[in-house]
Chains A and B, each alone.
Chain A
Amino acid sequence: MSFSSEIRKVVGDHVLETREEIIPYLKDASYFVGDMPDMVVLPGTSKEVSEIVKLCYQNDVQITVRGGGTSLTGSSVLTGKGIIISLARLDHIYETSVEDKYVVAEPGVRLDVLNNHLLQFNHFYPPDPASSKSATVGGTISTNAGGLRAAMYGTTKDWVLGLEVVLPTGEIVQFGGKTLKKTLGYDLTALMIGAEGTLGIITKAILKIWPIPEITGRIQSYYTSIEDVGNAVSGLKREGVTPMIAEFMDKISLDSIRKTKGLKFPEDAEYMLLIDIASTVESLERNLQYAANILKKFNPITVNITTDKDEMAKMYEARKGAYASVLSERESADQYLVLGDIVVPASKLPSAMKQIKEKIKAYGGKVSLYGHIGDGNIHAHIFANTNNPEDMKKVDSLQMDLARIAIKHEGSVSGEHGIGLEKKELLKEEMKARNTMGTLEMMESIKKAFDPKNLLNRGKIF
């Protein structure tokens, strides 16, 4: 029996083998184009995933796992020969416990769908990557996604209690559980978070949930100097304000949102700072005023406060779509976006941002800056012809320069997008600079222990 027939025995017709069916799986949200897989398999249960993986293990077939296909580093496209397993059909939400504060969901559940479900319990799952509309539970665990609310709630790693995982041999194992506390030797749940599908395939997740804040209000302030933006955020933190969301956007990103979403900003604004404050109803106004007064100390053009839900929702959606909107600012049709994802401690923002700006100026090409400044995460979106090796050489060089700024400021080369295909060199650079290459060797040993045949998501991270 052929491999294809054996797979079909497991999942029936949920196998895609023609070129037209496979084309969409060659792309994720990064600029990478993957190799053509022999097939895309869409299992519907953990057992089916396990059976497929067993077949791949027996036949030495490489597997790339795909969730929402929203990776920004190429971690969900195939390199080389193999198959893609799409977990889209594993889209059930099983159990929600408000008392014990968890929800059990399959990996194909999109984050916005999960949060719409949790609304009825007045709870939410805080990790909030900009791609939450399309990003999935499994994919965001695999990249340790952060997002807008990380300033207050941290990243995905802080919200995963347990996992069901299919190992590269096909064995189904359980890590963690439903309790907040559990000390049972090595924390294998944590090991799976950010592993980018290289150690096992997540088929179920127990996620911590939290009550929705009573009310939120927003401050939008505008600046002409990037240092003022950095100082304003550091100032807020120093004065004891922990925003739920603290985002910044530069002029290019504001222009793109103006164009694609029709939102208005002051014409002379070079940067916008968007601060959301979560509060009780009684203290909201006081908290907003307190934060606004701090922001006013750092030379803003203007500081606006709003509690209008529609207005806040429009801007929030626009910010979440900024990555795609920014493409409208490209100078030619062959330009695409290469995404940076560095992070520094918030106290180092003023100095780091000044140096970032200088490097971008020296680079000379078009770069848009925005990010989750509340947790020190800055995305430099570099416009480049990704098919032009000369252009990409310059882009890589800029990425390395920005990474070094992050490292120098005790930050990291990757805040929330992961390593994927894109940031392997940057990962090495960070390990080298921190004089801890042994960490990388340990990671490789762990990979070998889980996946001795190197079948899962080969070529990613290492």
Chain B
Amino acid sequence: MGERPKRWDPGARNEAYAELEHPADLFVEVWGRDLPDLFENALFALYDQMAELEGFRIERAVTIEVSGPDPEETLRSLLSEALYRFATEGFVATRAELDVKAAPEGPVWVTAHLHGETIDRRRHTLLTEVKAVTYHRLTVERNPEGGWRATVLFDV
């Protein structure tokens, strides 16, 4: 593993993801240099939409392991798992280290070490209640000019 990742910077969200137009739900487009970077930015997008990340300290770590038959399913499972930990433990990450193994044209395994803090309603501001990570318009693709792109629809 290379240099220790910095905590996510909400000021730099325009480089990680963008909100696309959708009449009711939260539809995002995410970018990454490679698959680990793409998955990490998708996690950032989820937490960034749920809470004001500036107020969170790094106090505990949570490890999530998921796998899926393709990058799409794997990405959805990863986000869904993070959402479950948010809903049941109030855990919000502000940085992550990801280990991604992908077989060509096949299954993907992800181990994500998430670093963050449990919500404290006196100090933290929560923004949007994400109900679920849907399968709808779920895409992960490699750009012809390099890098990766994903779209994810969150039910809110």
**Is chain B a partner of chain A in the same complex?**
no
Identify the A interface with B (CB < 8 A). none
